[in-house]
Amino acid sequence: MKMEYNGCRWLDSAIHFERKFVSDCCKRPSIGSGMPKLIPDFNGGPIDWEKLFKIKHDRIKQQKEAIINECKGCEFLSDYEYKMEKKISDFQFSQCKLCNSRCVYCAPKGTFDPGYNVYPIIKDLIEKGYYKPGGEAIFQGGEPTLMTNFEELVDLLASNGSRLRILTSAIKFSPKIEEYIAKDNCLVVISIDSGCKQTYKKVKLVDKFDVVCNNIEKYARAVKDPYNLMIKYIIVPGINDNIHEIDLFFKLMKKLNVKCVAIDIEDNYARVYNYKNVSPHIYLLYDYFIYLAKKNNMPDVTHYAYIQYLADLRTSKPSKLIKYKFLYNLYAKLLNNKKKNIKYT
């Protein structure tokens, strides 16, 4: 019988700030509803930490009996052993929806709400002794560099012992990101989703390709470990789901001196359409991307969970034959022909 894991470090020691609530995590599992709520209605202000830990610990006790609805089907469930300390070590900040980009796949569209100031909340948590160093602080959004007190919050968490992960559009250059990637304490993730100005504009709906390339180049010069500058390609059907664009993307990465890339679909966007808006060529594009990454000496491509989820759904195994020229040519032909619903055999 398949072992059912019930461990999750997010339930144990993490906090996620959303625009209108606080939860244990920001995950949306394939079956459960995800994001177990800690404070269902929140718009900033002081948090009663004792009350919050009581909710966390009661939830863990429940989870040990049977997987709670929110966590059903989550890929983060593991054999993790709960510690049930009154400590937070991992943070996710999604409360600020301000953004300088207008990506077609972004949800919720057009809110661009600045949200609440999270800095005094984290300061209070640290001062009251509920903080544990050694975890990760993930800044997402919206655009994190536009968050109130972004620099102060980054300094506060880094100086106390958190590692940083910042997901930015790179439209605004951040000397703070530059500082921490140079100190080897930050992973910066930038979705450029294209290899040229025209496609960038179609995905992002802003004309900032040159600015972003310039900023990526500056980060590439500053970064101590090149794997801490990750450039992402989110596949958007009908816009960048073709091999020509992926070719251009890898040429651009070489020019900008980037060594680390990621491929993804945008899960919120895909979910809204029940994954029906995912490119019919997704597996071929995925394999082609991996093929080019290897060819360009970038062996460790990150594919985010949802690509993996889709990859798991396909009946056959990912092709190892892509390395052979004849199959590569066949893929190239299929992709160029824009043939729909190709069966992966």
Please, what is the minimum distance in Å from the beta carbon of residue 244 to ligand SF4? 37
Asked if 127 contacts 90 with a C-beta cutoff of 8 angstroms, the reply is no
Closest CB to ligand SF4 among residues 29, 142: 29
Please identify which residue in the block is written with the tokens 């509803």. Answer: 33
Closest CB to ligand SF4 among residues 10, 130: 10
Q: Residue type for 142, please?
A: G
117 burial level (CB within 10 Å; 0-12, 13-18, 19+): middle
Please, what is the minimum distance in Å from the beta carbon of residue 63 to ligand SF4? 8
Please, what is the minimum distance in Å from the beta carbon of residue 24 to ligand SF4? 4
Closest CB to ligand SF4 among residues 11, 260: 11
Q: By the criterion CB under 6 A, which residues form the site for ligand SF4?
A: 8, 10-11, 24-25, 27, 29, 34, 36, 70-71, 74, 76-77
Asked if 90 contacts 16 with a C-beta cutoff of 8 angstroms, the reply is no
Asked if 130 contacts 88 with a C-beta cutoff of 8 angstroms, the reply is yes
Please, what is the minimum distance in Å from the beta carbon of residue 319 to ligand SF4? 30
Please, what is the minimum distance in Å from the beta carbon of residue 309 to ligand SF4? 13
Contacts of residue 151, Cβ cutoff 8 Å, sequence gap at least 6: 176
Please, what is the minimum distance in Å from the beta carbon of residue 267 to ligand SF4? 13
Q: Is the dihedral of CA 226, 89, 121, 156 positive or negative?
A: negative
Closest CB to ligand SF4 among residues 95, 169: 95
Please, what is the minimum distance in Å from the beta carbon of residue 62 to ligand SF4? 12
Measured CA to CA, the distance from residue 61 to residue 306 in angstroms comes to 29
Nearest 5°: CA angle at 294, between 211 and 239?
Answer: 45
Please, what is the minimum distance in Å from the beta carbon of residue 118 to ligand SF4? 19
Measured CA to CA, the distance from residue 153 to residue 173 in angstroms comes to 17
Closest CB to ligand SF4 among residues 77, 253: 77
Structural tokens at position 156: 């506060």
As a whole number of Å, the CA-based R_g of the chain is: 21
**Is it true that the peptide bond before 44 is cis, omega within 30 degrees of 0?**
no
Closest CB to ligand SF4 among residues 25, 282: 25
Closest CB to ligand SF4 among residues 11, 256: 11
Closest CB to ligand SF4 among residues 11, 122: 11
Reported as type and span, the H/E element at residue 232 is strand 229-234
Measured CA to CA, the distance from residue 344 to residue 321 in angstroms comes to 13
